[in-house]
Amino acid sequence: MADDGRMTERRPISVAPAETPGLSGLLTLAVAVVVVAGLYLGRTVLIPITLAVLLSFLLAPIVNLLRRIHLGRVLSVIVAVLLALSIILAVGGLIGSQIAGLAQDVPNYASTIRSKVETVQGFALSRMNLVMRRLGQQLEQPNASQPKGPKSATDQKPMQVEVHQPDPTPIQLAERVIAPIVDPLATTAIVLIVAIFVLLQREDLRDRLIRLFGSSDLHRTTVAMNDAARRLSRYFLIQLGINTAFGIIIGCGLFLIGVPSPLLWGIIGLLLRFVPYIGAPLSAILPLALAAAVSPDWSMMVWTAGLYLVTEVIMGQVVEPLLYGHSTGLSPFSVVVSATFWTWLWGPIGLILSTPLTLCLVVLGRHVERLEFLDVILGDRPALTPVESFYQRMLAGDPDEAREQAEVLLRDRPLSSYYDEVAVKGLQLAANDAARGVLTGVQLEKIKLSMQELIDDLDEHDDQEPDTKDALEGATTGLSRSEQDLPKHPALGRIAEDALPPAWRAKAPVLCIAGRGPLDEAAASMLSQLLHKSGLKARVLQHEAASRMHLGSLDGEGVAMVCLCYLEIGGLPSHLRYLLRRLRQRLPAARLLVGLWPAEQAILTDDRLRAAVGAEVYTSSLREAVEACLEAARAEVQPVAA
pLDDT digits (tens, 9 = 90+) for 320-375: 767 765 455 677 777 778 888 888 888 888 887 887 888 778 877 777 666 777 77
Whether the predicted model's global pTM rises above the 0.85 cut: no
Does residue 187 share a domain with residue 226? no
Q: Quick check: is 105 in a domain? A: yes
Q: Is 165 a member of any domain?
A: no
Residue 156 included in any domain: no
Handedness of CA 119, 123, 124, 126 (dihedral sign): positive
546 and 468 in one domain? no
Say yes or no: 448 and 543 in one domain: no
Q: What is the CATH number of the domain that holds 557?
A: 3.40.50.280
Domain residue limits at 307: 205-378
Q: In whole angstroms, give the CA distance from residue 434 to residue 166.
A: 87
Mean pLDDT on 211-223: 66
Q: Is the separation of the CB atoms in 617 and 593 below 8 Å?
A: yes
- The separation between the first and the last C-alpha atoms of the chain, rounded to the nearest angstrom, is 65
Q: Are 448 and 397 in contact (CB under 8 A)?
A: no
Total residue count of the chain as it appears in this document: 642
Position 456 pLDDT exceeds 80: yes
| 473 and 602 co-located in one domain | no
Q: Tell me, yes or no, whether 356 and 222 share the same domain.
A: yes
Three-state secondary structure along 493-548?
CCCCHHHCCHHHCCCCCEEEEECCCCCHHHHHHHHHHHHHHCCCCEEEECHHHHCC
- Note whether 227 and 296 are same-domain residues: yes
Average pLDDT of the residues in 286-308: 86
| Residue 224, pLDDT above cutoff 80 | no
Beta partners for 562?
A: 511, 592
Q: Give the whole-angstrom CA distance, residue 26 versus residue 141.
A: 73
Q: How many whole angstroms separate alpha carbon 484 and alpha carbon 475?
A: 6
**Same domain for 353 and 259:** yes
Q: Residues 195, 209: one domain?
A: no
Q: Which of 491, 526, 547 marks a domain boundary?
A: 491
Last residue of a domain, one of 361, 378, 395: 378
For the beta sheet containing 510-514, the strands, ordered from the edge strand earlier in sequence to the opposite edge, are: 538-541, 510-514, 561-566, 591-596, 617-619
Phi-psi region of 581 (alpha: psi -120 to 50; beta: other; left: phi over 0): alpha
The verdict on residue 353 lying in a domain is: yes
Task: Identify whether 131 is part of a domain.
Answer: no
- Residues 231, 114 within the same domain: no
Yes or no: say if 342 and 218 are a contact pair by the CB < 8 Å rule.
no
- Residue 48 in domain: yes
Kindly state whether residues 487 and 556 are assigned to the same domain.
no
Q: What's the number of domains the chain is made of?
A: 4
Is 133 a domain residue?
A: no
Q: What is the pLDDT of residues 539-579, one digit of tens each?
A: 999 988 888 888 888 888 888 999 999 887 765 578 888 88
Q: Are 327 and 372 a contacting pair, CB within 8 Å?
A: no
State residue 72's pLDDT score. 84
Res. 178: pLDDT tops 80: no
Would residue 313 count as lying in a domain? Answer: yes
Residues 625 and 503 in one domain: yes
Residues paired with residue 594 on neighbouring β-strands, in sequence order: 564, 618
User: Where does a domain end: 378, 410, 438?
Assistant: 378
501 with 585, same domain?
yes
